[in-house]
Amino acid sequence: MLLLLAAPLFLAGQSVFDREVKIIAEEIAAVAKSSLTGHNIAIGDILDADGNAVQLGSLLADEISYALSTSAEPFTIVDRSHFQKLMDEVDLGANGLLDDNTVIRLGRMTGISAIVYGKIYQQADHYRIYFKYCLLEKQTIGALCRGYLTRVPSIDGKYTGTKAKAAPTGSGGSPPQVASSGAYEVFKSGPIQIQLDDCAHASGGVNCTFTVSSSGRNETLILFGEGTYLSQGNRRVGPVGIYLDGRQSTYQLSAPLVAGRPYKALVQFPGRFTNGATLTLRGKTYSIYEFDYHLNNIHFK
C-alpha cells in the first residue's frame, strides 16, 4: 500500500520549530537523491535517546515523509500506518529501529526497499537529531544527515526524555564513553577506542599523535579536517595535515582498521600554543555515528 502524503498540519504556522524542521527535511531530501531514488521508502519514528517513541519523533517522521513524497525526485513513500502494521507482524513494534542490526531484520517486508530512521538527543539548549537509511535488499546502511532543533517549552512537551543526553556515537544510540587512562582520557564508542598520546611543537606548528584501535571487528575510520581544531582563547585553528596508516589528507581521511591492531594517527596544526589549549578530533566509522573526541587542558612538548 503506497501513497503520497498530505502536508503535516504543524507546518501551518511559521515558528522557529517549523522552519528548522523544514530545513532538516529538505536536507534529507537532497541527500536522499543520490541514495534512495527509485526505492519504496518507509519512514520510521525518530526515537529518543533511550529508544522510546515520542511525539516529537513522530512529527519529524511525518515531515520527512512529506518532504520526500513532494520532492521532484521519484521517491515513493510507504504509508506510515501500513509500515507500523508490518513492524507489528514481525514483532518489532516502535522499538524495532533501535540499531543497525535490528533494522536489517525488516528485509523481507513486501513492498519496502529502504527505511529511514534515527534518534533524538536532548542537549542543554537544543535537540540533536541523527538520521540514517537502510537499503534492505543490499543490507547496507548509510548516514543521511544530522539536524538541530532549538529547545523551547512547547517542543520540550513533545519530548518525554527526563534528562539531557550526550550526542550519539554508537549505532545503538549509546553516548560515547570517556575513560581515564594515562595523561589523557580515552574515547570509547562501540568497538572504537581513541586516545591522545601527546601534542608536541614542531617546525611551524603542532603535531598531535593518537592511538586508534577497533576491538572485536574490522572497521573503517574516517577523520575530518572540518570540525577538528585546536583552540585557545579567541583563537581556533584547523589541521593542515591528517595522517593514518600511510594515508594523508587535509580535509578527510579514510582508512581501514584491522580488529585488535593499534594504529597511530597524526594531526598537524599551524602555529604555536601554550599549555591549557582545547583539542577536538571529529570522525566517524562505518557502523557508528559521527563523533567528537573533545579534550581540555592540552599540554605541549
Q: Are residues 126 and 184 in the same domain?
A: no
Q: Are 160 and 54 in contact (CB under 8 A)?
A: yes
Q: Please say whether the dihedral angle defined by the alpha carbons of residues 193, 96, 158 and 162, taken in this order, is positive or negative.
A: negative
The domain that holds 241 is classified in CATH as: 2.60.40.10
- Looking at the structure, tell me whether residues 103 and 222 fall in a common domain: no
In terms of domains, do 272 and 211 share one?
yes
Whether residues 152 and 185 share a domain: the answer is: no
Containing H/E element for 265? Answer: strand 263-270
Torsion angle of the four alpha carbons 184, 187, 191, 192, in this order, in degrees rounded to the nearest 10:
-80
pLDDT on residue 199: 94
Q: CA-to-CA distance for 145 and 251, rounded, in angstroms? A: 19
| Residues 47, 185 share a domain | no
Residue 290 CB partners (closer than 8 Å, separation 6+): 130, 143, 146, 169, 224, 282, 283, 284
Q: What is the pLDDT of residue 184?
A: 86
Rounded Cα gap, residues 142 and 157, in angstroms: 31
120 with 48: CB under 8 angstroms? yes
pLDDT for residue 99: 56
- Fill in the amino acid letter for 149: L
| 259, 216 contact by CB (below 8 A) | yes
Q: Which residues contact 10 (CB under 8 A, 6 or more apart)?
A: 17, 18, 59, 63
Determine, yes or no, domain membership for 114.
yes
- Using one digit for the tens of pLDDT, what is the confidence trace for 24-83? 878 888 888 878 887 888 888 788 877 777 888 888 888 888 877 777 776 788 887 777
* pTM, two decimal places: 0.49
Mean pLDDT of 203-207: 88
Asked if residue 145 belongs to a domain, the reply is yes
For cell 579534550, the residue is 295
What is the maximal distance between C-alpha atoms in the chain? 64
Cell 533494522 found at: 103
Which residue type is seen at 235? R
Q: Who contacts 50 (Cβ-Cβ below 8 Å, separation ≥6)?
A: 161, 173
Measured distance CA(251)–CA(18) in Å, rounded = 33
Considering only 151-155, 158-162, 249-253, which range has the smallest mean pLDDT? 158-162
Number of compact structural domains in the chain: 2
The whole-angstrom separation of Cα 189 and Cα 182 is 18
Considering the domain architecture, whether residues 17 and 140 belong to the same structural domain is answered as yes
DSSP 289: -
pLDDT at 157 over 80: no
Residues 208 and 144 in one domain: no
Q: Say what the pLDDT of residue 163 is.
A: 32
pLDDT tens by residue, 82-137: 777 777 666 555 444 545 656 666 655 667 888 888 888 888 788 888 888 888 77
268 and 222 both lie in a single domain:
yes
C-alpha cell at 283: 570522525
Residue 107 lies in a domain: yes
Arithmetic mean of pLDDT, 210-216 = 89
- Per-residue model confidence (pLDDT) at position 27: 82
The angle subtended at Cα 229 by Cα 190 and Cα 232, nearest 5°, is 125
pLDDT in tens, 241-281: 999 888 888 888 888 888 889 999 999 999 999 999 999 99
Residue 10: what are its φ and ψ, rounded to 5°?
-75, 0
CATH number of the domain that residue 136 is part of: 3.40.50.10610
Question: Would residue 152 count as lying in a domain?
Answer: yes
Pair 126, 185 in one domain: no
Label residue 271 left, alpha or beta by phi (over 0 means left) and psi (-120 to 50 means alpha): left
Q: Are residues 186 and 80 in the same domain?
A: no
Give residue 80's domain range. Answer: 9-156
Please choose, from the candidates 167, 206, 171, 151, the residue with its C-alpha nearest in 3D space to the C-alpha of residue 294: 167
pLDDT tens figures, 16-37: 777 787 788 788 888 888 788 8
